[in-house]
């Protein structure tokens, strides 16, 4: 399931057992929205990350779910048809194992009570492998947020973690354990991660490099990019919010890595290591590499390099070719407005790039 950010709805059940106001997250999933119980096990945190609203030294009311209580609420909401799944994470109250164990216990209790819908949980950096094994057996998707692309930004943000040991090693463990249980029909939605964009001085080049590794070496299903928004009473409260177009271009790049076979070294960056915010990264790559593809002769991999041709359309081209002329491609679903400067049919090209741009 690929969720985009949508609005929250607050719901109070009114039971003497259910003391929390319930956050229901209406998430976009394909052509419909899916209501999820999206919550933290606790917002009590021992860490003091500069960007985080739940940092230890920030004055804020603190709450915590008990696993059995959360399970009862999830089951009750499902019976009332208020939710169709659960998205669960946590701050680090004591240590990584304690925080992740309580998530796992919550999901185990949900399953005992008959909750069969989608559940997504988050591994804490530094969690033991044994607990990761337990988590992938009960959840539909398990993730670990890397937040930043390398250890330099961890130091900048005061994340007191070992990037290689606490993050990368856990990502590899998670990938391996997910593959094992998927053979048994479990954790079908795989693993995911998240990167914060704009809190540190990270570049798009750094983000795309680590994203390529997570997708292509660890088989992640999704990486989420969360643009930085300043939080009052944190060290970064006066920092400017990140441009939403940067988040959007990173998502486009992410799908090129995941679905189109692009490698991180193929992307085009400015001198500052950033993507061009005004241009689709796929178009930039095609333009700067003087891409020219004969649709009747090229492989699927080559077709996917062309702007206006996606995985489904490339498969259709392979099935229906040979094509007699370029206009025939429109009937196959090719977006000629984007593709025409980069394609030819049996040596015939519709337009050159300079003419098309003008």
Q: How confident is the model at residue 291 (pLDDT cuts 50, 70, 90)?
A: very high
Q: CA nearest 101: which of 17, 158, 42, 37?
A: 42
Q: Provide mean pLDDT across the span 341-355.
A: 73
For 27-31, 49-53, 187-191, which range has the lowest pLDDT when averaged over its residues? 27-31
Percentage of the residues of the chain whose pLDDT score is greater than 90: 74
Q: How confident is the model at residue 204 (pLDDT cuts 50, 70, 90)?
A: very high
Same domain, 47 and 184: yes
* pLDDT 10s digits, 293-313: 999 999 999 999 999 999 999
Q: Provide mean pLDDT across the span 138-157.
A: 92
Give me the pLDDT at residue 5, please.
Answer: 45
* pLDDT 10s digits, 84-122: 999 999 999 989 999 999 999 999 999 999 999 999 999
The number of CA neighbours under 13 Å toward the Cβ of 165 is 5
The number of CA neighbours under 13 Å toward the Cβ of 201 is 4
Give me the pLDDT at residue 18, please.
Answer: 52
**1 vs 337: which has the higher pLDDT:** 337
Give me the pLDDT at residue 17, please.
Answer: 47
Q: How confident is the model at residue 187 (pLDDT cuts 50, 70, 90)?
A: very high
CA distance 64 to 40: 8
Helices (H) and strands (E) in the chain, counts: 13, 11
Are 332 and 316 in contact, with CB atoms under 8 Å apart? Answer: yes
Same domain, 63 and 97: yes
Q: How confident is the model at residue 355 (pLDDT cuts 50, 70, 90)?
A: low
For 183-197, 326-340, 344-358, which range has the lowest pLDDT when averaged over its residues? 344-358
Domain contains 275:
no
Domain contains 127:
yes
Instruction: Assess whether pLDDT exceeds 60 at residue 354.
Output: no
Are 161 and 154 in contact, with CB atoms under 8 Å apart? Answer: yes
Domain contains 233:
yes
Same domain, 117 and 253: yes
Q: Provide mean pLDDT across the span 38-58.
A: 88
Q: CA nearest 146: which of 119, 168, 128, 165?
A: 168
Same domain, 254 and 168: yes
327: CATH: 1.10.150.320
State residue 253 phi and psi, 5-degree precision: -65, -40
Q: Torsion angle, CA of 11/15/18/23, rounded to 10 degrees?
A: 0
- Tell me the residue range of the domain where 321 lies: 290-357
Query: Which of the listed residues 234, 266, 298 is the one where a domain comes to its end?
Result: 266
Q: Provide mean pLDDT across the span 176-204.
A: 96
Are 250 and 207 in contact, with CB atoms under 8 Å apart? Answer: yes
Give me the pLDDT at residue 325, please.
Answer: 86
Give me the pLDDT at residue 158, please.
Answer: 76
CA distance 358 to 354: 6
Q: CA nearest 216: which of 181, 254, 183?
A: 254
Give me the pLDDT at residue 11, please.
Answer: 56
Domain contains 274:
no
Same domain, 261 and 298: no
Same domain, 253 and 306: no
105: CATH: 3.20.20.70
Q: CA nearest 172: which of 108, 134, 125, 140?
A: 125
Instruction: Assess whether pLDDT exceeds 60 at residue 14.
Output: no
Tell me, what DSSP letter sits at residue 322?
Answer: P
Q: Are strands 141-143 and 8-12 parallel, antiparallel or unpaired?
A: unpaired
The number of CA neighbours under 13 Å toward the Cβ of 262 is 29
Same domain, 336 and 229: no
Same domain, 235 and 320: no
């Amino acid at each position: 399931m690929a969720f985009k950010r949508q609005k929250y709805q607050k719901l109070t059940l009114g039971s003497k057992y259910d003391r929390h106001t319930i956050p229901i997250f209406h998430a976009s999933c394909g052509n419909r929205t899916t209501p999820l119980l999206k919550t933290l096990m606790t917002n009590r945190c021992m860490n003091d990350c500069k960007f985080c609203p739940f940092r230890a030294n920030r004055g804020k009311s603190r709450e915590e779910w008990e696993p059995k209580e959360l399970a009862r609420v999830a089951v009750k909401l499902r019976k009332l048809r208020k939710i169709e799944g659960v998205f669960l994470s946590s701050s680090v109250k004591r240590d990584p194992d304690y925080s992740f164990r309580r998530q796992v216990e919550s999901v185990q209790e949900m399953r005992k009570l008959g909750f069969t819908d989608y559940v997504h949980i988050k591994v804490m950096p530094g969690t033991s492998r044994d607990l990761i094994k337990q988590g992938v057996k009960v959840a539909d998707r398990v993730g670990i947020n890397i937040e930043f692309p390398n250890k330099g930004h961890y130091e900048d943000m005061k994340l007191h973690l070992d990037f290689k040991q606490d993050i990368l090693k856990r990502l590899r463990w998670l990938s391996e354990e997910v593959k094992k249980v998927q053979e048994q029909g479990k954790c079908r939605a795989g693993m995911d991660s998240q990167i914060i964009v704009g809190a540190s001085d990270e570049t798009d080049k750094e983000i795309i490099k680590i994203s390529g590794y997570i997708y292509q070496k660890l088989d992640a299903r999704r990486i989420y990019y969360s643009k930085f928004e300043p939080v009052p009473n944190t060290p970064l409260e006066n920092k400017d919010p990140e441009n939403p177009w940067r988040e959007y271009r990173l998502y486009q790049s992410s799908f090129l890595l995941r679905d189109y076979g692009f490698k991180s070294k193929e992307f085009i960056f400015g001198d500052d290591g950033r993507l061009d915010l005004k241009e689709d990264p796929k178009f930039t790559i095609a333009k700067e590499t003087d891409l020219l593809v004969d649709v009747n002769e090229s492989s699927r991999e080559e077709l996917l390099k062309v702007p206006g041709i996606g995985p489904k359309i490339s498969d259709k081209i392979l099935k229906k070719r040979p094509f007699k002329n370029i206009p025939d491609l429109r009937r196959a679903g090719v977006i000629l407005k984007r593709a025409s400067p980069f394609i030819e049919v049996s040596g015939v090209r519709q337009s050159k790039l300079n003419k098309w741009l003008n």
